[in-house]
Amino acid sequence: MIAKSASVALALLLAAPALAEESAPDPVVAEINGEPVYMSEVARIYEELPEQYRQLPFAAIAKPLLERAIDDRLLQAEAQRAGLETDPAVQREIERAKGRVLRTALLQQLVDRAMSEDNLRATYERMKAEPEFVQEQVCASHILLENEADAKAVIAELDKGADFGEVARARSTEPGGSKGGDIGCFPRGSMVPEFEAVAFALEPGTYTKEPVQSRFGWHVIAVREKKKDVPSFEAAQEQVRERAARDAIEARLGEVRAQAQIVRHDEVLARASGRN
């Protein structure tokens, strides 16, 4: 449960606008009644635009974004003059917004600390010991035929001792047949599912005893070798950074959950959510 919560928290952090760095230059781009409007306000509006608008260069829409920032400031000031800050519903929303900012700040702090070189290297070493981190590859050859009957005839030739490469050069309908059907080594997810499922199930030194159909035709597959490849630290950077961040959040969540007294009212939740 904590691991799932950590993943959700990380997703929320990645989706949230970044907190502004105090040390970053933040020039004044306008003034309203003597109050400065900062570049960071304009940049934040740009970051919150829908994806299709963020395809436009920031410089191309900076002026209208500034006008939006000015409008936002004016509306905020008008709401304060109207006394809306004391409205109970508004106060609840302000508290929710405050909570979101605090959560984001804490998550960002945890993630930033987790990004140290030492921690990333340690995370990588832990990941190397996990079976799912190791990339399994199959080195194979295949013969592609137009129909099932031709594929079965090829299998019959192989059963009689014919050389796979020679049969591929003579019978395969795809260009790779000229190389004996060799398709090199490939990881999971790189071939069509029907082909891949059979290739990874075969033992090295064997070939399919039944034709394998895909959208390309009928295949006879031979596996030469299976090997396991551990991605280098550099190649796995994105995975390592994500794991390090998730581990840091999970660890802190575990600590605060252990210290908290949590009482769940499942029957109330069931009634309120409409579940019998």
Q: Which pLDDT tens digit goes with each residue over 261-271?
A: 999 999 998 98
**Do residues 246 and 8 touch, judged by C-beta distance below 8 A?**
no
Is 24 a residue whose pLDDT tops 90? no
| Model pLDDT for residues 29-39, shown as the tens digit of each residue | 999 999 999 99
* Rounded Cα distance, 181 and 162, in Å: 14
- Give per-residue pLDDT as tens, 164-182: 999 999 999 988 888 999 9
Strand 35-38 relative to strand 182-187, pairing: unpaired
* CA–CA distance, 142 with 183 (Å, rounded to integer): 7
What's CA 202's distance to the chain center, in Å? Answer: 31
Query: Which tens digit of pLDDT belongs to each residue from 2-23?
Result: 666 666 566 656 666 666 555 5
Residues 6+ apart with CB under 8 A from 18: 47, 108
Using alpha carbons, select from 94, 46, 41, 48 the residue that is nearest to residue 70.
Answer: 41
60-64, 160-164, 185-189, 216-220, range with the lowest pLDDT: 185-189
Report in angstroms the alpha-carbon separations of 81 from 31, 32, 59, 93, 235. 19, 15, 34, 18, 56
Contact 215, 192 (CB under 8 A): yes
pLDDT tens, 113-126?
Answer: 999 999 999 999 99
d(CA 97, CA 82): 20
The topology (CATH level 3) of 135-229 is Chitinase A; domain 3 (3.10.50)
Domain locations in the chain as residue ranges:
2-122+251-272, 135-229
pTM of the model: 0.61
